[in-house]
Structure 1
Amino acid sequence: MSLANGNDDGGGAAPGGNVDFYPTTPAQRTATAWDMAGLWIGLVVGVPSYYLAGSLVEAGMSWWQGVAVVVTAKVILLGPLLAAAQPGTRYGVPFPVLARAAFGVRGAHVVVLLRALVACGWFGIETWIGGQAIFLLLPASLRHSPYATPLSWLATSPLELASFLLFWAVQLTLLWKGMHGIRALQKLSAPVLAMLAALLLGWAYSRAGGFGPMLSLPPRLSPPEFWALFFPSLTANVGSWAAVALSIPDFSRYARSQADQVAGQLGLPLFMGAFAFVGLAVTSSTMVIFGRVISNPIELLSMIDGTLAKLLAVPGITLAVVTTNIPANVVAPANALVSFRPATFSFRGGALLTALTAILFQPWRIFRSTDSFVFTWLVGYSAVMGPIAGVLLADYYVVRRMELDVEELYSSSAAGRYYYTGGYNVVAMATVMASLAPVVPGFLHKVRVVKSVPGALVFIYNISWFFGFFSSVGIYLVISAFCSRRGGRGDCQVNLSSSSPPALEPLLRHWRINCRQFISL
């Protein structure tokens, strides 16, 4: 069972007309707990996860402090993750459709596009990693030529940029030929990367002289310095998967039952903790081996002697990037563009715009240092993901008490239950903006647009996901309690709307008749 289901041709015109957005039928709900666990193993085992973990050692933590931060973050994230997955399994709807209940049929486009922008950024970062892998395979004479000298205005070298664009073009070519071959390779990527991680750990063990020397690097932070680093590091580790947690209904809608989706995802802290240990242990060992801490695994590979090591590692990294990057970071934004402007975008057109937008993010600037990747990119975008998740879950669990009218979710009629005011739930949109506003000064300070801001605002930025999530829950529930809202609580009665697409009506009737056992969960 493949959980990365994308639209190969972009058919359909809107959330209600795109077959990929229809509720899953019982026949489609075949994903077991092992499938859900496999999804997370495939996502967790990758270069960004390694780098995020290793960066904690580079910043001054010991290996065990780093593992504690990573595992704590994933345990915290598990709650919103499972909560967001529940409606996907219960009603069989993806994130763009579920978002209509809280944000309105048009407001949902806004949050889906914000989520898509994060995916575009990640596509660029993963593509940069693949390009760096290609760069490592180039002859030493080229890698040390003037073409490999960074240009100050570009922040990278022409040769590295060319490697990035080559890998970008390769991915786009594969995407143009369809998703089927990529999905077939997906099952190989996680085992291959896990094997490479084990080999890297074995190499570090051998070169450093055992786990004792490997893990001997002590914490280099005083208590005040540790806590100053702890909170943004915790936020970054939550934020690294906050976007996936938000759109987890895209995957959980294929689960056989709530028990399967819960059991399959409970292993996330364990998977991430195990892989984080590899990243932290190897990063710690680099101090013994090279005399300095190296947290970027691509940089580490460039320093390992021997062509064989590179010939083994680089194909594995590129395979993992291709099979993860396209399903995870292209399909969602491409489908979002199709649903937003169906007359303008086909799936291929949406994918091309996604790939072009990824270049505009200049991922080489994001991935060039721990500060830019961890404390600017991850902490920064989690400020947006937190409020959206807070509103979505508060609306579903508290306001609607987990009751949705599925047919109305697919209706764009002005008389529809989820149309609100002009297609927007003003309360939800205002809540997101109110929760995001206090984080903005800290972000502007981080990117050096503003020279100084009060310490309290810096702290709010450092805990941006937590602040956004919990403040949005509180604001949304308080305002909702005092507002007369159309469709404040979902109606259990399922009434087909005349505005639903004709092709959808038979499917929804079939879904209503055969899915009562899921609604009762």
Structure 2
Amino acid sequence: MKTQIEEQEIVTLTDQGIREVEGSPLWNDDLRPTTKQEHNWSGYNFSALWIGMCICIPTYTLASGMIGLGMNWWQAIGTIFLGNLIIMIPILLNAHAGTKFGIPYPVFARLWFGSKGAHIPALARAIVAAGWFGINAWFGGGALDALITAFYRGWDHVPMHTGIVFLLFWGLNMYIAYRGPQAIRKLGAFSAPILAVLAVALLIWAFTTAGGWGPMLSSPSKFQTTGEFMKVFWPSLTGVISFWATLALNIPDFCRYAASQKSQARAQLLSMPTTMALFSFIGVAVTSATVVIFGKAIWDPVQLLTKFPPVVVLIGAIGIVLASVTINVGANLVAPARAIENLWPRRITFGIGAIITGMIAIAMQPWYILENFGNYIFGWLGTYGALLGPIDGIAIADYWLVRRRRMHLVELYKPNGRYSYSSGFNKSGVFALVIGMVASLLGLVVPGLSFLWDNAWTVGLFVAILAYWWMMKNDSSGLTEMEYTAITEIRHPLELEEAEVPV
């Protein structure tokens, strides 16, 4: 009996397939595979999503840390562009699985860790995302606080005024997230053009007001030798890669709605690396101009906003709020909400998972973390890169090398199905994760091997790929081409065209 249909590289369940698992404790309306009608995200939607997520305060300030470490402007921007091209590879590889089979990240993780073990990578990604959510909510709240202060001078004397606005902004994020990923698509389509225009306007203001780019773009690199540069380049590159290492894992949460493989891949490849590099350049250039205009470098756009008249503050605050909401809901709420939902699918919905994520973000105290923002960005990014790199590697090895892009959708929702392994845990996935992490950690404890930690994400990724593939290459959970054909009704384009012609 056919339980799934493959049509133009997109697989959906048949009515028979749905009937087999719709009563399963691993199934609910948010975690089920998407239907053919729900594959409605165009290339523009993905471009808008990435533009909205990239135009954010952490991107704006990303190059600042590298310049502070001694790079010149083009070395910093080049490092950012290269890092984003590298992370785009696992993003696109994992996006293929989400697009083809219409499954979210926690369900995808059942393939590599088992029906119960999937909580390990899902919650690992969720904790990181919750931290980022709190940080961006704090930034967005700061922009609103500056806006209110600009129009009401007595506001800064109100006790806990920043905390009050932070909670209001947090609530706005919760409202949008509660409405689900389709609301995020609409938000991205609306905010991306506005954010792009505001970014260009800020760049024009900086150039015309300062009479040029200022001293930073003319400052030479502080490194005298290639060796000196490489000591800073490698950990910086790892930080850039880790910046989107979270999205490399849960990109199926969005690509499960893609209309086609070609549209999502092309849109993501063109939009993300270029937007990150361009917006980082705007951050460097505008900050360079502030040295000339205000006599000091102002890297924080919220602080820069306070230097303008109230009308400009209003426009700028709208931009920062849109940027913070877009990246927060898109990049930092979907994955943890899905992970929490996956803990108890029959009771916890996506909306409830989003609210729990928001509570965790507050508990992580973003105001305290941001007291040392530079160490947070580069130190913490590198640290969780050592955790997420191996998980990325396991996901890629499983889908492309072990299963060869074939899976049995119905079995993903059975507690004792093909992908439950031993008591719900795939020990090969757990072992590969540990091996990948240990390989990076050796760089912290063994003299002469520091390059392993400086490149923690990359090292963990490749070590985990090899370890997982070696342990799983002959595993019985894999589908042969004959087994896949037996459960899948494959519809070819020619057959579809003939079916649409009226008789």
Q: TM-score range by the shorter chain?
A: 0.7 to 0.9
1:487 is aligned, of 471, 477, 482, to 477
Q: Note the alpha carbon deviations across 1:344-392, whole angstroms, 9 max, x for none.
A: 5344432221111001222223334442232122222222111001011
Distance 2:466 2:327 in 1: 36
Distance 1:68 1:472 in 2: 28
Is residue 404–residue 491 contact of structure 1 (8 Å, CA) maintained in 2? no
Matched residue of 2:388: which SS?
helix
For the pair 1:103 / 2:113, whether they are aligned, the reply is: yes
1:82, CA displacement in angstroms?
Answer: 1.4
1:21 is aligned, of 1, 25, 31, to: 31
Of 213, 219, 222, which residue of structure 2 is paired with 1:220? 222
1:259 aligns with: 262
2:57 match:
47
Identical counterparts, % of pairs: 39
Q: Tell me the amino acid that sits aligned with residue 282 of structure 1.
A: V
Mapped contact 2:180–2:350 kept (Cα < 8 A)? no
Give distance in 2, aligned partners of 1:281 and 1:14: 55
Deviation at 1:72, TM superposition (A): 0.6
What is the CA distance between 1:237 and its match in structure 2?
A: 1.0
Cross-structure match for 2:304: 300
Residue of structure 2 aligned with 1:387, choices 383, 386, 390: 390
CA contact (8 A) 1:335 1:350 kept: yes
Over 3 Å counting, the alpha-carbon distance change for 1:379 and 1:517 in structure 2 is: farther
Distance across 1 between alignment mates of 2:69 and 2:310: 31
Q: Structure 2: which amino acid aligns with 1:317?
A: I
Shift of 1:466: 0.9
Unaligned stretches of 5+ in structure 2?
1-21, 495-503
Q: CA deviation at 1:126?
A: 1.1
CA distance in 2, matches of 1:178, 1:27: 17
Shift of the alpha carbon at 1:97?
Answer: 1.8
Q: Does 1:399 align with 2:402?
A: yes
Matches for 1:47-66 after TM superposition, within 5 Å? 47-66=57-76
Which amino acid letter does the alignment assign opposite residue 37 of structure 1? S
Secondary structure at the residue paired with 1:28?
Answer: coil
Instruction: Tell me how far apart the structure 2 counterparts of residues 138 and 60 of structure 1 sit (CA, whole Å).
Output: 37
Spell out, residue by residue over 1:170-198, the C-alpha distance to the aligned partner (whole angstroms, 9 max, x if none): 43355567777765443222222212211
Equivalenced residue count is 469
Two-structure CA RMSD over aligned residues (Å): 3.0
Per-residue deviation, 1:169: 3.3
After TM superposition, the structure 1 stretch with the greater mean CA deviation from structure 2, 284-293 or 70-79, is: 284-293
CA 1:457 to 1:162, structure 2 compared with 1: closer, same or farther past 3 Å?
farther
Instruction: Give yes or no for contact 2:214–2:288 (8 Å, CA) kept in 1.
Output: no
Write out per-residue CA displacement over residues 394-436 of structure 1, whole angstroms, 9 at most, x where no aligned residue: 12211222221222122221xx221111111101111112222
Is the counterpart of residue 68 in structure 1 residue 69 in structure 2?
Answer: no
The one-letter code of the counterpart of 2:117 is G
1-structure distance, mates of 2:200, 2:25: 43
For 2:23 and 2:138, the matched residues in 1 are separated by 33
The one-letter code sitting in structure 1 at the alignment partner of 2:476 is R
1:463 partnered with 2:455: yes
Distance 1:100 1:311, change over 3 A: same
Distance 1:344 1:31 in 2: 28
Q: Tell me how far apart the structure 2 counterparts of residues 181 and 429 of structure 1 sit (CA, whole Å).
A: 35
Q: Kindly tell me: are residues 36 and 259 of structure 1, through their superposed partners in 2, closer, same or farther at Cα, counting changes over 3 Å? A: same
Give the C-alpha shift of residue 74 in structure 1.
1.3
Instruction: Measure how far apart 1:249 and its partner are.
Output: 1.6
Residues in 2 aligned to 1:179 and 1:487: alpha-carbon distance in whole angstroms: 31
Does structure 1 conserve the Cα–Cα contact (< 8 Å) formed by 2:140 and 2:169? yes
The equivalent of 1:137 in structure 2 is: 147
Quote the Cα distance in structure 2 between the aligned partners of 1:471 and 1:290: 49
Tell me the residue number matched to 1:472. 464
**CA distance 1:371–1:412, change in 2 (3 Å):** same
What SS does the corresponding residue of 2:30 show, helix, strand or coil? helix
Cα distance in 2 for partners of 1:283, 1:492 equals 60
Structure 1 residues 428 and 300 mapped into 2: Cα distance closer, same or farther (>3 Å)?
A: same
Distance 1:30 1:492 in 2: 31
Please give the alpha-carbon distance, in whole angstroms, between the structure 2 residues aligned to 1:212 and 1:372. 27
For normalisation by structure 1, the TM-score amounts to 0.81
- Asked if the contact 2:142/2:165 (under 8 Å) is kept, the reply is yes
Superposition deviation, residue 26 in structure 1: 2.9
CA distance in 2, matches of 1:111, 1:14: 22
Query: How many angstroms apart in 2 are the aligned matches of 1:307 and 1:376?
Result: 37
Query: CA offsets per residue over residues 474-504 of structure 1, 9 Å max, x none?
Result: 22223335xx6331455653599xxxxxxxx
Post-superposition offset of 1:128:
0.6
The one-letter code of the counterpart of 2:247 is: V
Instruction: Between 323-332 and 47-56, report the one with greater CA deviation.
Output: 323-332
Give the conservation status (yes or no) of the 8 Å contact 1:115–1:243. Answer: yes
Mapped to 2, the partners of 1:339 and 1:436 lie a distance apart of 25
| Partner residue, 1:152 | none
Q: Which residue identity does 2:452 align to in structure 1?
A: I
Mapping of residues 162-241 of structure 1, within 5 Å: 162-173=164-175, 184-211=186-213, 215-223=217-225, 224-241=227-244
Aligned pair partner of 2:275 in 265, 271, 277: 271
TM-score, normalization by structure 2: 0.84
CA contact (8 A) 1:131 1:167 kept: yes
Distance 1:58 1:285, change over 3 A: farther
Verify the 8 A CA contact 1:214 1:288 in the aligned structure 2: no
Structure 1: gaps (5+ residues): 1-11, 148-157, 446-452, 497-508
Distance in 1 (CA, whole Å) between partners of 2:183 and 2:265 is 29
| Structure 2 match to 1:117 | 127
User: Is residue 2:242 matched to residue 1:250?
Assistant: no
User: After alignment, is 30-39 or 233-242 more displaced?
Assistant: 30-39
Whether contact under 8 Å (1:236, 1:379) holds in the other structure is yes
Which secondary structure state, in structure 1, belongs to the residue aligned with residue 297 of structure 2? coil
What is the DSSP-based 3-state SS (H/G/I as helix, E as strand, rest coil) of the residue aligned with 1:266? helix
3-state SS of the aligned residue for 2:162? helix
Aligned CA distance change for structure 1 residues 96 and 132 (closer, same or farther; 3 Å): same
**Cα deviation, residue 247, structure 1:** 1.3
**CA shift in 2, pair 1:351/1:313, >3 Å:** same
Maintained 8 Å contact 2:382/2:456: yes
1:449 alignment partner in structure 2: none
